[in-house]
Amino acid sequence: MARATLCGVAHPLLRLSAEVAAALASGRPVVALESTLITHGLPAPRNLEAAQRAEAAVRAGGATPATIAVHGGRILVGLTATDSETLAAAPEPWKVSRHNLAAALGRPGWSGTTVSATMIAAHLAGIEVFATGGIGGVHRGGQDSMDISSDLDELARTPVAVVCAGPKSILDVPRTLEALETRGVPVVGWGTTELAGFFSPTSGLPVAITVDDAPAAADLWRRHRSLGLGSGMVFAVPIPAADGIPHDEIEGAIATAELGASAAGIHSAAATPWILARVAELTDGRSVAANLALIENNARVAASLAVALVAVGLPRA
Ligand code: PSU
Ligand code: MN
């Protein structure tokens, strides 16, 4: 295990796996992966399967996977196969974002990192590309409850490219897009002028920016970084059509799950895991199968971006 260097100084709270450290040291492509979807987003044993399929897709795409989690007072960047199994079965893991990252580092158990905490860790480690399922955003009713994911502010302040299938469709997606625009976060359609609809390839909402392939995405990201804007970028990749669930069908399940969450008084950090679990029940597990497929697809696309960034070869801003 090696420590990351930040401005040449080892960061004592990060622990890079030997494989990730070697890839970064020699400038090879690396893709960060989050772990809240392992600890909180998906039911066992599909959670471990998701982690393994994402890592395999990154490798097949010619990059090194760096799954990020917190354990034993360190942010782990790159998990061994055994680490992943332990994480997937960890008792009472925390769900860690910017606000409780330092606190999580003060406890012995495992924590899954959300998009926000994963971006922080990836940036500290010098990793520019990160793949996940969907980003958090403005929850339905968020204009009253103020339940707005810290993912949005993180995207505004941390320069990491996040490859996803759009905002999670359990959210208020139009308000999430407005919040991202306000924060100066580009939302980029990957091969499409329509925002990816998470469980379905389409959402009915337009995106202002489109790239057709990985080299174009790499050019856009490099220009963004060179301006010193400081923000991240969302690359929204549609789920492959064969794996998607029709928009109307999934919307019905989400609406029912939302009502159930309200009736049960579920909110804040517990909302996403609860609603995802209920949607899985309501769709007889089809939402879980779709979630795994889109995670794997995003990992594959993120690897192509990381490879293209190395090919562009410009110094990091
Ligand atoms: N997308 C999924 N499943 C998940 C998540 C996203 O398909 O479990 C997680 C991500 O880690 C994301 C987090 O950062 O949910 C957002 O949670 P919240 O809304 O509490 O900020
Ligand atoms: Mn929240």
Domain-wise residue ranges, the chain: 1-127, 133-317
* Start-to-end CA span in the chain (Å): 27
pLDDT for the residue numbered 310: 96
Separation of CA 231 from chain center? 15
Find out whether the beta carbon of 133 lies less than 6 Å from any atom of ligand 1.
yes
Q: What is the domain class of 1-127 according to CATH? A: alpha beta
- Low-confidence winner among 61-65, 195-199, 265-269 (lowest mean pLDDT): 265-269
Pocket test for ligand 1, best of 34, 37, 116, 278 (most atoms within 8 A of CB): 37
Collapsing DSSP to helix, strand or coil, 10 comes out as strand
Nearest CA to 152 out of 139, 169, 133 is that of 139
pLDDT digits 0-9 by tens, 66-116: 999 999 999 999 999 999 999 999 999 999 999 999 999 999 999 999 999
pLDDT band at 11 (very low <50, low <70, confident <90, very high): confident
- If you search the block for the tokens 């697809």, which residue do you land on? 297
> So what's the pLDDT on residue 317?
46
The residue among 144 and 9 whose pLDDT is bigger is: 144
pLDDT band at 10 (very low <50, low <70, confident <90, very high): low
Q: Would you list the DSSP string of 88-115?
A: HT-SS-EEE-GGGHHHHTTSSSEEEE-H
Q: Cα(67)–Cα(295) distance, rounded to whole angstroms? A: 13
- The answer for residues whose C-beta is within 8 angstroms of residue 302's C-beta and 6 or more apart is 31, 58, 61, 63, 129, 130, 131, 161, 163, 235
pLDDT of 52 strictly over 80: yes
Q: Is the CB of 40 under 6 A from ligand 1?
A: yes
Cα gap 199→252, rounded to integer Å:
13
- Tens digit of each residue's pLDDT (9 = 90 or more) over 224-239: 999 999 999 999 999 9
From the number of C-beta atoms within 10 Å of its C-beta (0-12, 13-18, 19+), residue 279 rates as: buried
DSSP state of 30: E
Residues recognised as catalytic: 34, 168
CATH top-level class for 133-317? alpha beta
Give the closest residue to 134 by CA, choosing from 203, 44, 56, 199: 199
Looking from the CA of residue 164, the nearest atom of ligand 1 is 1
Torsion sign over Cα 103, 156, 141, 257: negative
* Any atom of ligand 1 within 6 Å of the Cβ of 112: no
Measured from the Cα of 134, ligand 1's closest atom is 1
Q: Which residue has the CA at smallest separation from atom 10 of ligand 1?
A: 114
**pLDDT for 4:** 52
Share of the chain above pLDDT 70, in %: 96
Reported as a single tens digit per residue, the pLDDT across 162-219 is: 999 999 888 999 999 999 999 999 999 999 999 999 999 999 999 999 999 999 999 9
Q: How confident is the model at residue 269 (pLDDT cuts 50, 70, 90)?
A: confident
Closest to 71 (Cα-Cα) out of 38, 49, 46:
38
Do 1-127 and 133-317 share a fold?
yes
Nearest residue to 205 via CA among 197, 213, 215: 197
In the three-class reduction of DSSP (H, G, I as helix; E, B as strand; rest coil), residue 71 is classed as strand
Q: pLDDT for 127-145, tens place per residue? A: 999 999 999 999 999 999 9
Asked which of 123-127, 189-193, 240-244, 269-273 is least confident by mean pLDDT, the reply is 269-273
Mean pLDDT, rounded, for 46-70: 98
196-230 burial: b if 16+ Cβ within 10 Å, else e: bbbbbbbbebebeebbeebbebbebbbebbeeebe
Q: Give the span between the Cα atoms of 124 and 137, in whole angstroms.
A: 23
Does position 315 have pLDDT exceeding 60, yes or no? Answer: no
